[in-house]
Structure 1
């Protein structure tokens, strides 16, 4: 009861916490909570002493009683926005096959390098941009679902624009989903084991991520060297100003 009263006092004086919500307050009040053992009700009804972590099942059950109505309109707008991106990219299907430029060896090499850089940065932006616009106080299940939807929707732009294979582009998406599942596993004895499990998972995923990046670059190079992108020898050279997307 003394701990509870002290927590109420901390709320009354407005103690700062990382996210300004309940999870940040709990994490700030119990900074070593992840190192505590998982709570299991004693079979003989004895009283436990010390601090324990509640299992994942409790967190899932408690989410039914938490209200997140203030953030839901923004979440709904973002979800519709991402679904609209998916629909537009599937219907419009923009591609580099509509890129026309003059035949000049130096300019072609420069354009190919520039397109590779743009493709890589567009994929990175697809995974980074949703982080900054998702409400930080939204329910974790809703927030991560919205992030995965946004990352996949924005990645579809790069897939269609640069004619990339979809699986290598979505390898980071699958890796993030796997990380969430590894972190959510409720059978870890303490936070150290959980952190080690995430580290081992990331170590195993790193080679797969590297292979997917190499695959993306190789497919992009093949697409750029196709006949549809570069005019053949003997074809008429377009006008000097014919260097645009149309």
Structure 2
């Protein structure tokens, strides 16, 4: 037990050093590196939109800042425009302006399709994209979703025609990036079509624009004229302007031969967007997105929260270890554990299964709480480091509270580290081999997890009486010694 305590302290020390190094390094990142675009108004614009009413409003706001900051660093020859709902907080709007964007405040377009049974409420205001056609001060606008990751400045897109989009799906173009020519007439006609409930297969911007430009698949591919002139008409964009991240995960490399590899898009499930710390290493491209964040807005907002949480977990673990040492000292004085028949065992445990459930629930909560309170958009190394520190801290409390064996309780924690190493391994040749490796690890780890559950349940079974360990703590001072001793920790 002494060796286990020493190992726990070593793990604590290493985890704390890792989190401290990452957090303090991130504190050096300054938003001053985000150089706003200056000068007169440009003839073209990159535009995105922000609206409120989803559980992930803040995450999309951060993603928008990173995307726009990347365009600034790429020195694009265009204005940056944010079409913001009137409900977007004023301080968010001010930050976007300070970082070089023009904010155009609009009223949300009421979605007439939201009563349909298949409609998802989080997409209620995606029809606000139609406002891009009202930006008539520009000759061309590239309309963007915030989950685009730019590898280069694709300013040649402004040479495209009245409407241009890429086909990720073989038959349906993707509205995460498209080029348009602003027109008040087109804008008015689209608003009439919305109010008239024109056919829309999904009730969203995707379905609406698909019905507006239903023949785009038959249009020619866009190739920018070498003389820099603008084209007229509708065009399909090469896939290099909307590289679906899922194409990368199959080969673990990019193989997009059509068009310059310019923009990565992440049309995945919402909880696996690249800005979430937990999406890596499940989705390796998450690190690429965070590289852009490091280079643009940094983590200045989240750093104080990370420091406070790290300090709390370290103090909690140290207190648990101190109490553990006092308990060991109590054993040497022959004071019985609360799980024995000593003076502090005052409550009979009538339902051992209830204690088993409480123990297993406590172990699960030790993982859930740190995951829940970590800021969602921090760097994966910060997030996972703090998660491991927090879960280790709370597991230490559980071990002492219920007097459980150390190794079985820490088995899921150790297994989690192994899973991260397997997922993040750089030695896979392709996504198929990566999937096989994950499957093999799961098969090998499952028996150990089952063994750990059995050991924990067995430790609970031998207890026939239970009361709060805090009573044992007070009993050290007030009750006489007993000849029979059980280990408290």
Of 119, 122, 138, 2:378 maps to 138
Of 297, 301, 312, 1:81 maps to 312
1:46-66 CA-partner distances (Å, limit 9, x unpaired) = x9835699x88x859948646
User: How many Å separate the matches in 2 of 1:121 and 1:72?
Assistant: 30
The corresponding residue for 1:219 is 459
Structure 2 vs 1, CA of residues 70 and 62 (structure 1 numbering), >3 Å: closer, same or farther?
same
1:77-106 CA-partner distances (Å, limit 9, x unpaired) = 11111111101111223989345325xxxx
**Structure 1 outlier segments of 4+, above 6 Å:** none
The corresponding residue for 2:356 is 116
Q: What does 1:199-238 align with in structure 2 at a 5 Å threshold?
A: 199-222=439-462, 224-225=463-464, 229=465
User: How many Å separate the matches in 1 of 2:50 and 2:349?
Assistant: 60
Gapped runs of 5+ residues in structure 2? 1-44, 68-145, 150-175, 177-241, 265-283, 328-335, 339-343, 472-489
Gapped runs of 5+ residues in structure 1? 1-7, 41-46, 231-242
More moved, 183-192 vs 77-86: 183-192
Of 86, 101, 112, 2:346 maps to 101
The corresponding residue for 1:149 is 389
Please state if 1:25 is matched with 2:147.
yes
Please state if 1:91 is matched with 2:325.
no
User: How many Å separate the matches in 2 of 1:177 and 1:71?
Assistant: 24
Determine if contact 1:130/1:151 at 8 Å carries over to the other structure. yes
**Offset, 1:188:** 2.2
**Offset, 1:36:** 4.7
Aligned residues: 209
Query: Which has the larger Rg?
Result: 2
Of 37, 52, 58, 2:251 maps to 37
Structure 2 vs 1, CA of residues 208 and 26 (structure 1 numbering), >3 Å: closer, same or farther?
farther
The corresponding residue for 2:406 is 166
**Offset, 1:26:** 4.4
Determine if contact 2:251/2:429 at 8 Å carries over to the other structure. yes
The corresponding residue for 1:176 is 416
**Offset, 1:189:** 3.0
The structure whose residues are more often strand, as a share, is 2
How much is the aligned-residue C-alpha RMSD, in angstroms?
3.7
More moved, 116-125 vs 147-156: 116-125
**Offset, 1:161:** 1.1
The corresponding residue for 2:257 is 49
Structure 2 vs 1, CA of residues 157 and 128 (structure 1 numbering), >3 Å: closer, same or farther?
same
Of 285, 300, 321, 1:69 maps to 300
1:132-165 CA-partner distances (Å, limit 9, x unpaired) = 1111100000100000001100001111111111
More moved, 199-208 vs 86-95: 86-95
The corresponding residue for 1:13 is 49
Structure 2 vs 1, CA of residues 191 and 26 (structure 1 numbering), >3 Å: closer, same or farther?
farther
1:105-132 CA-partner distances (Å, limit 9, x unpaired) = xx5332x333222111111111111111
The corresponding residue for 2:99 is none
User: How many Å separate the matches in 2 of 1:86 and 1:101?
Assistant: 28
The structure whose residues are more often helix, as a share, is 1
